[in-house]
A and B are shown apart, each in its own frame.
Chain A
Amino acid sequence: MMLTQDVWEVISLSLKVTTSSVLLGMLMGIPFGAFLGLYSFPGKRLIIALIYTCMGLPPVLVGVIVYLLLSRYGPLGSLDLLFSAEAMIIAQVVLVTPILAGLTMAAVHGKERTYWETAKSLGATPLQMMLTIIREARGGIWSGVAAAFGRAISEVGAVMLVGGNIEHHTRVMTTAIILETRTGNFTAGLQLGLVLLAISFLFNSFLMVGMMNQMKSRRR
């Protein structure tokens, strides 16, 4: 079965869904995490506790909730999104955003004081200050992105529920592995699993190289 057109289709859909959800998650999670790392306000502790809880959200639970929301009999049923790639992206955004927010917050918090005060004394606007901090904390933020990517691409419970594993439409690597195993094609399942591992490895090595470079430059 190695690398037939069907397999490519499954791999490319996996990558599409994962990248879209990580990008969307970054758009929301990073600014939110930076904000939490920089400002204090009443109720912040509760929000932080919630974010840390959501970092370990069970994917199947997210799957069920998104399923019920998008179901034809649910509140968003008219959108007709259930069993589509969009539905899978929605579920994964819910899963990865807390990870991105939480790790950004931790990274920003570590850098906060010095850079914050320097930027402020140089007369930076709040937006400029936030951008500066995010740039300075990028090592930690990247590890958040890596964690989010790893979670999204290897996740199966939620995408199975809301995507439905429909051939040529919503079948991704993880759901294909389940199907292959259920039908007794252990070899095919294992092969896909190796591809999944290879992608994860490649992605994480890129991030690692980036982080290493940053560490070196800082030491100088």
Chain B
Amino acid sequence: MMKNLRFAKVFLLFSLILLLAACSQSSSAPATSPAAAPAPETQEVKEITLATTTSTQDSGLLDYLLPIFEQQSGIKVKVVAVGTGQAIKLGEDGNADVLLVHARKSEDEFVAKGFGVNAFDVMYNQFYIVGPADDPAGVKQAKTAKEAFGKIAEKKATFISRGDDSGTDKKEKGIWTEAKIKPEDSWYLSSGQGMGETLQMTDEKKAYTLTDEATFLSRKLNLDVVMQGDKSLLNPYGIIQVKSSAKQEEGMKLIEFFTGAEGQKLIGEFGQKDYGKGLFVPDAKKR
């Protein structure tokens, strides 16, 4: 009995050692080559977190840009795509190194409160008001976004709001405030979800919603653009470095890529093949 127990102990210890050896071997395998050439080793460690809005991710812009950046710089970028509200919160808590967001007011506050540095304009796209093709609220006759929202409220046409504190949601709330309407009747629904889901819901419910251009163009839905081009529907994106980030140098490299000549050119080209026009207009400048 005792002998058995001892055997079991030895066996356990032995298998543990084997396991550890197997683990360390797999991790030491890539480490042996940098010993010969130290440069690639330091590159391998570099990894930064980019907190951004769902729109840049869902439109495919990041999948298009980031591989090019990663190849050039050797810095890996982890993307956390959330609403602008949460993206900014991630920055405040130090859980991200760089923010790429679109809610100018919150961005300015973020910088003013000392959470962010090196804020740049990167690009802009447009918001659309979209709705059913037969346009029951007659929004197409409206001249401004404010007026369009007024018509929707007047006809009590179903309007679906993101209601998730995202950049698009803030934009929408801003237009309601400007139009001096407090939307809170049963025609005003708050989905609390991303743009893609909200558009889908708008289509299903034959309703109206405010959407960013990129997400709208990347979905095939039976919805028409009923209002565009109004000045209040412009959607500027900013890129900001998180001050508390431990990876200042790498973060700055990412910002330089987005605002530099090559990145700007790529941004302008993105989407031209699929949609006939670029989804984003590059306009980099330091704030």
Contact = CB atoms under 8 A, between A and B. Distances in A.
Q: Considering residues A82, A176, A179, A182, which has the most beta carbons from chain B within 10 angstroms of its beta carbon?
A: A182
B262 interface: no
How many A residues touch the partner, as a band?
10 to 19
A61 interface: no
Given A179-B164, A184-B89, A83 B205 contact: yes
A166 B191 contact: yes
Interface residues of B, number: 21
A165 B204 contact: no
A184 B85 contact: yes
A167 B189 contact: yes
B193 A165 contact: yes
Contacts of B203: 72
Contacts of A176: 192
Q: Considering residues A82, A165, A175, which has the most beta carbons from chain B within 10 angstroms of its beta carbon?
A: A165
Contact of B83 (A82, A83, A167, A183): A183
Interface string A176-203: 1001011110000000000000000000
A160 B197 CA distance: 10
A101 to B, nearest CB: 32
Contacts of B197: 164
B139 interface: no
A71 interface: yes
Interface in A26-81: 71-72
Interface in B181-226: 189-193, 197, 201, 203-206
B204 A166 contact: no
A184 B86 contact: yes
A71 B204 contact: yes
A167 B204 contact: no
Q: Considering residues B89, B163, B191, which has the most beta carbons from chain A within 10 angstroms of its beta carbon?
A: B191
DSSP majority for the B interface?
Answer: mixed
B204 A175 contact: no
B41 interface: no
B192 A171 contact: yes
A160 B192 CA distance: 10
Contact of A164 (B85, B89, B193, B206): B193
A169 interface: yes
B201 A164 contact: yes
B165 interface: yes
B100 interface: no
Interface in A69-120: 71-72, 82-83
Nearest to B198: A164
A166 B164 contact: no
A107 to B, nearest CB: 39
B123 interface: no
Contacts of A72: 203-204, 206
B204 A183 contact: no
Interface string A153-179: 000000010001111110100011001
Contacts of B191: 164-167
Interface in B62-100: 82-83, 85-86, 88-90
28 contacts: A71-B204, A72-B204, A72-B206, A83-B201, A83-B204, A160-B193, A164-B193, A164-B201, A165-B192, A166-B189, A166-B190, A166-B201, A167-B192, A169-B189, A175-B192, A176-B192, A179-B163, A179-B193, A182-B82, A182-B164, A183-B85, A183-B86, A183-B164, A183-B165, A184-B85, A184-B89, A184-B90, A184-B165
Interface of A: 71-72, 82-83, 160, 164-169, 171, 175-176, 179, 181-184
Given A83-B205, A165-B192, A183-B83, 6 more contacts: A72-B203, A165-B191, A166-B189, A166-B191, A171-B192, A183-B165
- Top 4 A-B pairs, shortest CB-CB distance: A184-B89, A167-B190, A179-B192, A183-B165
